[in-house]
Structure 1
Amino acid sequence: MRSSSGKIVVFTALPLEYRAVRAWVADPQRVDHEAGTIFECGRIPGTAWEVYLSQVGQGNQGAAVLTERAIRMIGPDAVFFTGIAGGLKHDIALGDVVVATRIFAYHGGKQEETFKNRPETWPASHRLEQAARFAVLDPQWAETLLPAGRDAPDVHFKPIAAGEVVVNAQASALQSLLDEHYNGVAAIETEGAGFAGAASMADQVPALVIRGISDRADGSKQHTDSGGFQITAAENAAAMTIAVIKTLVTPTALEAELPPSRADTVGAPAVASPPASQQLKEPLPVVWRRKLLPPWSNESATLEVHLLPEDSFRLPMRQMNQLKDDLVSLGRSEGVFTATEEVSSVLEANFTAAFVRDPRHGRSIGLMITRSGQRSYWESLPRPSRLHMPVLDPEHTRERIADLLRLLLRLHDVLQDRFAPALAIDPAEILTVMNLDAAKVSNGATLARGGHGGPVRIPPDEVWDAATIGAAVPIIAEELTLRLMQHFRSPHEHQ
């Protein structure tokens, strides 16, 4: 594990972006890299973080080189890229801020009779994304960070596309590519892919891209630039970046919060306990996938994960109609669906869903939102080619549940305070419990399902607030996995 340094690096591309961040750095001092790169180092008032600033210029290549250089020289706990971008969504206004949940390098591909895109993608650091979401829960988050009289911009948590060209045309081959294969992205820019890729390769340093929308990438850039939107967008993105840094707990504060060690626990293994939850008197009513989208006759074992809001409400049909399209684009942007596979979508009176069913390859995967606010995801258990049945690997399942809880938390923009998770394996009659690596070289396995067949379900009987779930996903996922595994035993355990 990387030791803490108490340092953060903030990268920008343009001078106006750099100045917008530098305005918040107290007593900046010049620091030179041996290769000539110039940084400035100071502190953000009200925090203990040591912040380094760097201007990398435009382009992914320069961003990648200088990000790697800064990480080697400074050893930061986190890195940010902040600045302006072109907006790709009509419901995101000029001056709004987009916090990138994922970065797509959209120029990768293979040109044959048709262009087959091969994008690279990097998710946002969960820790930094959670800090950003927490920062904007305060409606006054930008009050002291923006010029007097300016309203706080709306903040959107959406994917961003990063390429090698500045897009400023309403109709072009590039716009068609983006619309067809990257419909879920909210903004486009030219540095995020290099930055995110370098941070990912440098020992997985937490990284986050924050962009202010300065134009529409539709041919109107000259007009919006002359209208001052570049400066507004840069200042808004800088304000959001500073707000996130202020939200991050410094290493020294974390150490101060740790309980004193006890002599009788020295040498004992640390066991993480689930965060405090409220036990519900009765489980919340859950809409299992089988009720709305029954599995096909030969469908293999499928894991489904649900988040149910504690407080009941009803989404308007107009919003459900919009969600029908959003689930497809979100699924593609989050890597749920591939960029080229055909995704089915459905809108019914009580739910909307986007899914893929491929009986030939045993693939079933999908996203769903009900009008009551339930968020759901399902995917087939892995099925190594040497075996004739799906594999339930406890460690792999725990990791998947953690990833899916994070996905469901950001699936829908309506903020809910408290959620109860639920799990199921359905169908569950034919599967084996074993390590996936072992399954890949195994020639046989034993059935592990006990009882009388049918689905195995873990009801939503414990509720946590959303912030707690986000901060303690690994622990909650482990607890849910242990409860799930109690239902699956090898034959000799039934005797």
Structure 2
Amino acid sequence: MQTNVRTAVVLTAIGVEYMAVRSFLTDLGTLVHPAGTVYEAGRFATDDVDWTVVLAETGTGNNIAAIETSRALDAFRPSIAMFVGVAGGVKDVDVGDVVAADYVYGYESSKVTETFQPRIKTFGCGYPLVQRARTVRRSDLWHKRLQSSERPKAYVGPIASGEQVIAGSNTQTHALLQTHCGDTLAVEMEGWGFLFAAHTNGDVPAIVVRGISDLTADKEPEQDRARQPIAAEHAAAFAFELLATIEAPEAQRIQPAEPWRPMSPPPPDLFGVVPGR
């Protein structure tokens, strides 16, 4: 079988996320954008696809994530894009679990008068990638890519994205998420800007994958040094399992149906009258 050669852009916000992704790549080389962004490009080979993965560290926040995503997509024209890193758990998840987003809520958009009126903006992740993420979640084969013996859970569901570090459940932002984004599993600071840029650059299929490094109801900054590398590794393992199985060579391909066309000439009705006459 001839191996396809394709390109994926993988972005991270902070160094610990970057290193977790980088550990899955071989044959690394450095690329520099004319505007100054430094990338590493490496190889990730599967049975069906030989991926060139272009990796960058954007810094934190939706604005810079959008700028760097747009820059990378324009420069490399990838088949897919992923944002991989850590997040705070909001509900139904534990530290170390992974959430692959199906939707990302931009929760900070609002109108403020005498009352607070949220105007939450939502972007969906690429549908084929979300479907593949559900398959990866069901199989648990991504655990084989972990260096540890841990067996974290994986979820596919909404993530909320804003410019705030939420360090407690008794906060206005946490109440906002509970009221208006009640199915949110995790909260972070780059996913919405990333998806906005993907949407405005030819709708490149894109997905956000996050490992849970802390919980908004129990955030201890001094524990980040221990938890973030583990959560980042879990997210990267899930993301590369997704990348490895996108083509799914064992899957049966369904052939598109022939388009419907009217019969020519149209058959007579029961009384022998041809329609249209």
Normalised to the residue count of structure 2, the TM-score between the two structures is 0.86
Query: Does residue 57 of structure 2 align to residue 55 of structure 1?
Result: yes
Could you tell me which amino acid in structure 2 is paired with residue 98 of structure 1?
V
CA–CA separation in structure 1 for the residues paired with 2:16 and 2:183: 28
- Evaluate the alpha carbon distance shift between residue 83 and residue 225 of structure 1 in structure 2; reply closer, same or farther with a 3 A threshold: same
Deviation for aligned residue 1:223: 5.0
Could you tell me which amino acid in structure 1 is paired with residue 82 of structure 2?
F
Deviation for aligned residue 1:232: 1.1
Deviation for aligned residue 1:149: 2.1
Match of 2:68 in 1: 66
Match of 1:486 in 2: none
Deviation for aligned residue 1:173: 1.4
Could you tell me which amino acid in structure 1 is paired with residue 257 of structure 2?
S
Alignment of 1:300-339 (within 5 A): none
CA–CA separation in structure 2 for the residues paired with 1:235 and 1:178: 27
Could you tell me which amino acid in structure 1 is paired with residue 229 of structure 2?
I
Which of 245, 248, 251 is residue 246 of structure 2 equivalent to? 248
- Evaluate the alpha carbon distance shift between residue 5 and residue 198 of structure 1 in structure 2; reply closer, same or farther with a 3 A threshold: farther
Query: Does residue 19 of structure 2 align to residue 19 of structure 1?
Result: yes
Match of 2:257 in 1: 273
The answer for unaligned runs of 5 or more in structure 1 is 259-270, 275-474, 479-492
Match of 2:156 in 1: 157
Match of 1:81 in 2: 83
* Conserved 8 A contact 1:8-1:52: yes
Match of 2:269 in 1: none
CA–CA separation in structure 1 for the residues paired with 2:240 and 2:17: 13
Determine helix, strand or coil for the equivalent of 2:157: strand
Match of 1:238 in 2: 236
* Conserved 8 A contact 1:5-1:77: no
Match of 2:115 in 1: 114
**Higher relative contact order (Cα pairs below 8 Å, separated by 6+ residues):** 2
Match of 1:105 in 2: 106
Deviation for aligned residue 1:112: 1.4
CA–CA separation in structure 2 for the residues paired with 1:5 and 1:71: 17
Alpha-carbon RMSD = 2.5
* Conserved 8 A contact 2:31-2:41: yes
* Conserved 8 A contact 2:5-2:51: no
Normalised to the residue count of structure 1, the TM-score between the two structures is 0.49
Deviation for aligned residue 1:36: 0.6
Deviation for aligned residue 1:167: 0.8
The answer for unaligned runs of 5 or more in structure 2 is 261-274
Could you tell me which amino acid in structure 2 is paired with residue 233 of structure 1?
A
Match of 2:224 in 1: 225
Could you tell me which amino acid in structure 2 is paired with residue 217 of structure 1?
T
Aligned-residue identity in percent: 36
C-alpha distance after superposition, 1:122-162 (max 9, x if no partner) = 1111111111122233233321x1114222x1111110000
- Evaluate the alpha carbon distance shift between residue 122 and residue 5 of structure 1 in structure 2; reply closer, same or farther with a 3 A threshold: farther
Could you tell me which amino acid in structure 2 is paired with residue 101 of structure 1?
D
Determine helix, strand or coil for the equivalent of 2:139: coil
CA–CA separation in structure 2 for the residues paired with 1:23 and 1:29: 14
Alignment of 1:80-229 (within 5 A): 80-89=82-91, 91-143=92-144, 145-151=145-151, 153-222=152-221, 224-226=223-225, 228-229=226-227
Deviation for aligned residue 1:181: 0.9
Could you tell me which amino acid in structure 1 is paired with residue 188 of structure 2?
E
CA–CA separation in structure 2 for the residues paired with 1:5 and 1:102: 29
* Conserved 8 A contact 2:10-2:55: yes
* Conserved 8 A contact 1:160-1:185: yes
CA–CA separation in structure 1 for the residues paired with 2:119 and 2:58: 26
Aligned residues: 255
